Structure 1
Amino acid sequence: MRNFINKRNIFWDFDGVIMDSMPVRNRGFEMVLKKFPNEQVDLLMQFHLKNGGLSRYVKFRHFFEEIREEKVSEEEIKEWSQKFSEIMRKELVQPGLLIEDSLDFIKENYKKYNMHIVSGSDGEELRYLCEQLNVSRYFISIHGSPVPKKKLVCKLLLNHRYINEETLLIGDSINDYEAAEINNIEFYGYNNEQLKILKSSYIESFTET
Structure 2
Amino acid sequence: MNLNTFSKYKIIFWDFDGVIKDSVRVKLTAYKSLFPDANQEILQKIENHHLENGGMSRFKKIPLYLDWNSLPCDQNTIEVYQSRFAESVIQAVIDSAWIEGVELILRSKKENQLFVIVTGTPQEEIDVILKRLDIIDLFDRVYGAPTEKDRAIQLTLSDWKTLPQDTLLIGDSESDFKAAEISGSNFIFVDNAEESGFSKKYTGIRIRNFKGML
Give the structure-2-normalised TM-score.
Answer: 0.85
Structure 2 residue 112 is matched with structure 1 residue 108: no
* Structure-2 residue corresponding to 1:93: 94
Q: What residue identity is the alignment partner of 2:66?
A: F
1:82-138 CA-partner distances (Å, limit 9, x unpaired): 2111111232222x6222411111111253520011011222111101100111111
Structure 2 residue 179 is matched with structure 1 residue 179: yes
Q: Is the 8 A contact 2:192 2:208 kept in 1?
A: no
Gaps of 5+ in 2: none
Q: Is the 8 A contact 1:61 1:72 kept in 2?
A: yes
* Structure-2 residue corresponding to 1:79: 80
Please give the alpha-carbon distance, in whole angstroms, between the structure 1 residues aligned to 2:71 and 2:37. 16
Q: What residue identity is the alignment partner of 1:81?
A: Q
* Structure-1 residue corresponding to 2:22: 20
Q: Is the 8 A contact 1:195 1:202 kept in 2?
A: no
State the number of aligned residues: 207
1:25-72 CA-partner distances (Å, limit 9, x unpaired): 11111222224444323212211111111111111122233x246651
Please give the alpha-carbon distance, in whole angstroms, between the structure 2 residues aligned to 1:50 and 1:64. 18
Instruction: Please point out which of 182, 200, 203 is paired with 2:204.
Output: 200
Q: What residue identity is the alignment partner of 1:165?
A: Q
Please give the alpha-carbon distance, in whole angstroms, between the structure 2 residues aligned to 1:49 and 1:129. 21
Task: Give the aligned CA root-mean-square deviation in angstroms.
Answer: 2.3
- Which stretch of the first structure deviates more once superposed, 26-35 or 197-206? 197-206
Secondary structure at the residue paired with 1:147? coil
Please give the alpha-carbon distance, in whole angstroms, between the structure 2 residues aligned to 1:90 and 1:200. 34
* Structure-2 residue corresponding to 1:155: 155
Q: Is the 8 A contact 1:7 1:166 kept in 2?
A: yes
- Which stretch of the first structure deviates more once superposed, 141-150 or 176-185? 141-150
